[in-house]
Amino acid sequence: MEDFVEEVQQQDSQVEQQAAEVQETTEAVPAVEETAEQAEAVSEETIEALEEKRDIINEDAEKHRKLRDELNNQTKEWKAKRDALNAQVRELVDEAGKCREERDSLNQKVRETKELRDEWNQKVTALKEQLAPYRNEKSDEKNEVPVKQLKKQLQDLEYTQMTKPLGKDKENEIIKQIAVLAKQIEEREKVYEQNDEVKNLVQQLRDAKAEAEVYHHQVSEYAEKAQAAHDKMIGFYEQADRLRKEADAAQAKFVECKQAADEEHKKHIEQIKSVHEMDRDASNFRNKKNSVRKKKSDSEGKKEAKEIFERFKAGDKLSTEDLMALQKSGYL
């Protein structure tokens, strides 16, 4: 019996000590509750303000992203156009180069053929010089006008007939003079060519003139082809220049869109960073809010436990829930 009384006394002593601790805690509860309510209200307002601002910035970031993507698409389009134009320029320059090579080759043929033509013309001149003494000799023997002079007279009359207005009588007179001169020249050349040496020189002269004429036609043909190749080359270069200007304009638009897209991407990234920072801040405020709520809950739990403990001291019977509350608060 004495042992039981001693044990009860010890329990009473422990109970009184715990009651004092609860009393101290309980006295501090109103301050905690007031701080918790204020902190919870401030946290809720702060979180709502952060979330509202976060949504605005996120919406703006999305606008920058869409604009960036649109500008990137334009950048790709301008790049494709620039590349296509540059490809056409290269093709035109290649064609112009082929025309230049063709022109240069033809010009070389012109030079070579001119040399051959000039050689035959020199032979023509030399043969004429060889024939000149024979012509002058025949004319001097008969005291006749040289064939060369007759031909000059014939040319003058033909020119007058073709270029000047003439009366009918005057024109008929000129026609008769032309016929007489032509006949004289023909007869004189027949006599002139009866000499075998002269006849041989005349044939050489005719052959030389024919060869010179052939090469002259070739020179003209090569020169015309060379000019055509040159004109074609110039046309290709002019087309290439026009397309190159378009390609340069496309390149300028490409750079402009690329820079604008980069700027929009930069703004998007900056605002996304801000959104993430606000998410972290909101999470921190929520954690702080939950911490305050837990402290408030613990404080209320201790207050409830004190009341239960007072009932226990007064001899009230405790329920299982009451015992669990005491255990949770550290009374048991």
Better pLDDT: 195 or 280: 280
Tell which residue, 48, 100, 83, 85, has the closest CA to residue 278: 48
Buried b (16+ CB within 10 A) or exposed e, 34-53: eebeebbeebeebbeebeee
Cα separation of 332 and 309, whole Å?
10
Let me know if 169 is exposed, middle or buried by CB neighbors in 10 A (0-12, 13-18, 19+). Answer: exposed
Which whole number is the average pLDDT over 13-32? 40
pLDDT reported for residue 3? 40
Range with the lowest mean pLDDT among 110-114, 115-119, 157-161, 246-250? 157-161
**Can you give the pTM of this predicted structure?**
0.54
Q: How much is the mean pLDDT over the chain?
A: 79
Better pLDDT: 328 or 8: 328
Cα dihedral across residues 58, 64, 70, 76: positive or negative: negative
Residue 293: partners with Cβ closer than 8 Å, 6 or more residues away? 36, 40
Give the number of other CB atoms < 10 A from CB of residue 88: 16
Give the model's confidence band at 185: pLDDT under 50 very low, under 70 low, under 90 confident, else very high: confident
Element (H, E) at 284: helix 196-313
Range with the lowest mean pLDDT among 78-82, 127-131, 204-208, 295-299? 295-299
Cα separation of 134 and 23, whole Å?
161
Give the model's confidence band at 133: pLDDT under 50 very low, under 70 low, under 90 confident, else very high: confident
Q: Where are the domains of the chain?
A: 2-313
Backbone angles phi, psi at 8, to 5 degrees: -65, -40
8 A C-beta contact, residue 160 and residue 174: yes
Instruction: Report which residue type is found at 90.
Output: R
Question: Is residue 31 pLDDT above 80, yes or no?
Answer: no
Let me know if 149 is exposed, middle or buried by CB neighbors in 10 A (0-12, 13-18, 19+). Answer: exposed
pLDDT reported for residue 6? 43
Size (the chain), residues: 332
DSSP string, 142-194: TTPPPHHHHHHHHHHHHHHHHHS---HHHHHHHHHHHHHHHHHHHHHHHHHTT
Termini Cα distance of the chain: 25
Which whole number is the average pLDDT over 250-274? 93
pLDDT reported for residue 131? 79
Give the model's confidence band at 52: pLDDT under 50 very low, under 70 low, under 90 confident, else very high: confident
